[in-house]
Amino acid sequence: MHYPGSIKKEYKKNANYANRGMDLESELNISNEYYLNNNRALIYKKPTPIGIVSVDYKQAIITKAYFKTPSTLDYNGLYKGKYIEFEAKESLSKTSFPLNNFHEHQIIHIKKAIQHGGIVFIIIRMNGNTYLLKGSDFQNYLEKNKRKSIPYTYIEEKGKIIKDGITPRLDYLSIVDEIYFKEEENGK
Amino acid sequence: MHYPGSIKKEYKKNANYANRGMDLESELNISNEYYLNNNRALIYKKPTPIGIVSVDYKQAIITKAYFKTPSTLDYNGLYKGKYIEFEAKESLSKTSFPLNNFHEHQIIHIKKAIQHGGIVFIIIRMNGNTYLLKGSDFQNYLEKNKRKSIPYTYIEEKGKIIKDGITPRLDYLSIVDEIYFKEEENGK
């Protein structure tokens, strides 16, 4: 059974932000909060999709629900007038990033979102680094290789390292600027 | 206690699509499905935000959870390379649209999303019609009037009627084209 990453996070509310061992999702959440408060971007984590089976309406409590499979990526929003969407994953394997991290619908969605002009990417934490891999590079690998994982060498070659910081914790938008907005700013 | 609209919908899975009495949310969901299948746009309803309290991991069932207050609007996605976001509400009152339909965070979010270049609007079903009201018209009314509702006359004046159809059921993107893309297509 695959559990969405956010569930474990619910129990980590009191996590210390200064803690170097913070997980990727928490680091992205505080980075997005920083972007929001500084009016740089509006990017949110989507709620975990669930199916509600029963509700205690008196107490306003859900008493039974199940996890649904997501069709889109975990984060989406608006940056410099553009649609942005991404997924974030930590890989325990040091040699390859397993593709069973993604549902089939999500892979189709990535392709479509690129076609429709969205900025789409994957954030992968692996071997102690945090990489931003363009959706098109992810897509290209999948189409050319019928493998169940992406080798770390490919992620190292194509991905860009997102530097650790304090404010924001993970400044992934500076990589987005570099990849997606540099040409525009130079008048192409 | 305010319940997100989607909860009631969970029990309506077998609703007949031909039924004229279908509610606004279901009509939007099938319209979005149509847009998706015809590769016209990628627009999804966001899952209801919940806080998970306890999970039976053996059965993969959530046994206790509560409803969270949303900070963003219900639907968002990507259309013609642009970020799109909207909320949909049915009003039982015939004379005015109550603003307690919106949380404070959502109202701030609407303002920000417009500032960041998003296409933002409200879909309001009222007096048998379905209106698309531009986010900026919604915003303007709120800033100029310290009232707790928007009079129907304002919605009639500023809103555009979304026609009922079969495929798609509610072709709101044709109104979006008219409002947001007409100028661009004419070369401004």
Query: Which of B81, B83, B18, B7 has its CA nearest to residue B44?
Result: B83
- Please check the confidence at residue B13 and state whether its pLDDT lies above 70: no
Which of A6, A12, A42 to substitute to test the interface with B, most B CBs within 10 Å? Answer: A42
Q: How far is B59 from B71, CA to CA, in rounded Å?
A: 31
Q: Is A40 on the interface with B (CB under 8 A)?
A: no
Determine, for residues B41 and A116 on separate chains, whether the beta-carbon distance falls below 8 Å: yes
* Among B16-25, B148-157, B171-180, the least confident range: B16-25
Amino acid, res. A88: A
Instruction: Using CB atoms, pick whichever of B51, B64, B77 lies closest to residue A63.
Output: B64
CA pair distance A91, A83, nearest whole angstrom: 26
Task: Report helix angle A135-144 to A104-115, nearest 10.
Answer: 120
Task: Give this prediction's pTM.
Answer: 0.86
Q: How far is CA A119 from CA A89, A111, B110, in A?
A: 18, 11, 21
- Number of A–B residue contacts, CB under 8 Å: 120
Q: For residues A68 and A50, is the Cβ–Cβ distance under 8 A?
A: yes
Which residue in chain B is spatially nearest to A77 when comparing CA positions? B83
Which of B42, B67, B81 lies at the smallest CB-CB distance from A60?
B67
Structure-token pair, residue A4: 């969405």
**Tokens found for residue A3:** 């559990």
Q: Does B117 touch chain A (CB under 8 A)?
A: yes
CB spacing of A116 vs B48 below 8 angstroms: no
C-alpha B68/C-alpha A164 separation (Å) is 31
The bridge status of strand B119-126 relative to strand B82-90 is parallel
Q: CB B80 to CB A46 under 8 A?
A: no
Query: Token pair for residue B41?
Result: 């746009």
CB–CB of A150/A96 below 8 Å? Answer: yes
Evaluated on CA atoms B169, B69, B114, B151, the torsion sign reads positive
Q: What phi and psi values does residue B99 have, to the nearest 5 degrees?
A: -80, -5
Predicted confidence at residue A169, as pLDDT, reads: 95
Determine the pLDDT at residue A73. 96
pLDDT for A146 equals: 82
The neighbouring-strand residues paired with B132 are: B123, B160
- Report pLDDT digits (tens) over B49-79: 999 999 999 999 999 999 999 999 999 999 9
Give the lowest-confidence range in A5-14, A47-56, B41-50.
A5-14
Q: SS3 for A49? A: coil
Q: Which pLDDT score, from 0 to 100, does residue A182 have?
A: 84
Distance CA A77, CA A83 (A): 6
Rounded to whole angstroms, how far apart are CA atoms B20 and B31? Answer: 14
Residue pair B106/B87 in contact (Cβ under 8 Å)? The answer is: yes
Q: Decide: A136 and A159 in contact? Cβ < 8 Å.
A: no
Cα angle A49, A28, A66 (rounded to 5 degrees) comes to 15
pLDDT 10s digits, B16-50: 344 456 899 999 999 999 999 999 999 999 998 99
Res B160 pLDDT > 60: yes
A42 touches chain B (CB under 8 A): yes
Instruction: Identify the pLDDT of residue B7.
Output: 42
The alpha carbons of chain A give a radius of gyration, in whole angstroms, of 17
Between A47-56, A175-184, B8-17, B43-52, the lowest mean confidence (pLDDT) is in B8-17
**Contact: B113, A7; criterion CB under 8 Å:** no
Residues 3-32 of B with CB under 8 A from A: 3, 7, 10
